[in-house]
Structure 1
Amino acid sequence: MYALDALKTMKRGEILQVIADCPQSFRSVPEEAVKHGYQLLEEPRKVGQDIYFYIKVVS
């Protein structure tokens, strides 16, 4: 997942916006983010075909 690679380069407190169009990402992105120690700021939001995630670096 490219989002995890991007999160590794970010500083504490920064927020990554992830936009995905794969229905499976609705579940997998939040699970992987939390599993790796990041914070999901809100529930995923679907707009048309796109799913928006906001992930915060907490450590």
Structure 2
Amino acid sequence: MRIGEVLEVIADCPQSFRSVPEEAVKHGYELVVAPEKDGQDIYFYIKVVK
């Protein structure tokens, strides 16, 4: 992925509310918006900043 692109991650594990944002930041990415929940699916939008 290139700088500025946004990756949509879809998860269904409740623990991902914590782990996905932590890992994204740990690896130098940025969480664009707060996680969104739709039924059992949790949506994350992660932006490449480096």
Indicate the percent of aligned positions where both proteins have the same amino acid: 78
Structure 2: give runs of 5+ residues left out of the alignment.
none
RCO comparison, higher one (Cα < 8 Å, 6+): 2
More helix as a share of residues:
1
As a proportion of its length, which structure holds more strand?
Answer: 2
Aligned residue pairs, count: 50
Aligned structure 1 segments of 4 or more residues deviating by more than 4 angstroms = none
Question: If the length of structure 1 is used for normalisation, what is the TM-score?
Answer: 0.82
C-alpha offsets along residues 1-58 of structure 1, whole Å, 9 cap, x if unaligned?
A: xxxxxxxxx1101100000000111110000000110000011011100000000000
